[in-house]
Structure 1
Amino acid sequence: MRNYTFRPLTEADLPLMRRWLQTAHVKVWWPDADKQIALMERDMDSAAIDMRVVSLIDHPFAYIHDHDARAFEMPQYADLPFGARVMATFVGDSDFMGQGHSVGYIEGYIRSLRLKYPMVAVAPGTTDTRTITIYKQAGFMNRRLTTTAEGRLVQVMTHL
């Protein structure tokens, strides 16, 4: 197991986030970099969401965040139990793709979340088979297919 670190996202990280959000492999699922940066800036000091930069040996390579399932009125999570957390992530540095890092850091992050919360959920797009496979390898199980407020079909997955 590798020693991944998860430090809070700061304003100094926003240029890195913008660079990552503009890469082709991230844009597929996080398409509007300006919107995402604006949301990060708005929520950076909010207790409602925990945003983190993932590093390995002091090299940042991914972004991850989690929040209460009911914090942002996302209908795909409406059936989750009280106290459930929702997580989203992406690998920004393409040099870290295809080497098992995604499963590794997600498992590490989930371990810490599960000490405090009864359930963690994710909702990748149904056509994102790579991400669904990564989440399954990290211990998530399919819960149900549903749509987001924007009408996108997603596979809600939970880690119990």
Structure 2
Amino acid sequence: MTDAPRITLRPATRADFGLIRRWLGRPDIQEWWGPVSATEAEVNMALASDHAICRVIEADGEPVGYAHAVDATLWGDNLPEDLEPGTWDLDLFVAAEEHRGKGVGQVALAMLRDEVFATTLAVAVCVFPSVKNERAVRAYEKAGFRWQRVWHDPQMGPSWFMVSKRNESGAKGSGS
């Protein structure tokens, strides 16, 4: 039995965009992140924003995926009306197939959520997985996200609107 890889999140920079762009162009990534033109724009906005945390997910020092947390107000009016002000939107993917289904995404998600709560005044974090992506929904549930309702995402169609609140997450630095 092999040891689980050491998962880290390192800051993503403009120099990483070529790798991230290649990942975004893959059909398996598009299936749960959406069309390339929209996702490239999203990553570019996040990389350029002071109100985003962009990370490359690494397993034993090798890049295996991408994650970002964005102050949801950056997305403008294209969000559920009942999204609480001060909520940050989290998105991530594990591109390396050999690291999928082994908890890498769940660890990266918890690390990113904890970083948001430790470094911002966010009241909550949210995710919008497609209703078709049951594996992601189960991982979000295990990480403390709770279903709010189904929301129609303009890019992905029916999606779960899931939230993890600061005082309910158990995150380090979350205060009370």
TM-score bracket for the superposition, by shorter chain length: 0.7 to 0.9
Task: Name the structure 2 match of 1:118.
Answer: 123
Question: Number of paired residues?
Answer: 160
Which 5+ residue runs of structure 2 have no aligned equivalent?
Answer: 166-176
1:35 Cα deviation from its structure 2 partner: 4.4
With over 3 angstroms needed to count, the CA separation of the structure-2 counterparts of 1:119 and 1:132, relative to structure 1, is same
Deviations 1:54-100 (A, max 9, x none): 11221111111111122212544431222111111111111110111
CA contact (8 A) 2:58 2:64 kept: yes
With over 3 angstroms needed to count, the CA separation of the structure-2 counterparts of 1:152 and 1:74, relative to structure 1, is farther
Task: Name the structure 2 match of 1:62.
Answer: 65
| Counterpart secondary structure, 1:109 | helix
Task: Name the structure 1 match of 2:134.
Answer: 129
With over 3 angstroms needed to count, the CA separation of the structure-2 counterparts of 1:2 and 1:150, relative to structure 1, is closer
1:106 Cα deviation from its structure 2 partner: 0.9
RMSD of equivalent CA atoms = 2.3
1:38 Cα deviation from its structure 2 partner: 4.4
Task: After TM superposition, list the pairs within 5 Å mapping 1:11-50 onto structure 2.
Answer: 11-50=14-53
Task: Name the structure 2 match of 1:143.
Answer: 148
Question: Hey, what's the Cα distance between the residues in 2 that align with 1:159 and 1:18?
Answer: 28
Question: Hey, what's the Cα distance between the residues in 1 that align with 2:135 and 2:127?
Answer: 14
CA contact (8 A) 1:125 1:153 kept: yes
User: TM-score scaled to structure 2, two decimals?
Assistant: 0.79
Asked if 1:154 is matched to 2:154, the reply is no
| Counterpart secondary structure, 1:51 | strand
Task: Name the structure 1 match of 2:84.
Answer: 81
Question: Hey, what's the Cα distance between the residues in 2 that align with 1:80 and 1:52?
Answer: 24
Task: After TM superposition, list the pairs within 5 Å mapping 1:72-111 onto structure 2.
Answer: 72-111=75-114
Aligned residues: percent identity?
24
With over 3 angstroms needed to count, the CA separation of the structure-2 counterparts of 1:146 and 1:62, relative to structure 1, is same
Which 5+ residue runs of structure 1 have no aligned equivalent?
Answer: none
1:36 Cα deviation from its structure 2 partner: 2.8
Asked if 1:52 is matched to 2:55, the reply is yes
1:105 Cα deviation from its structure 2 partner: 1.4
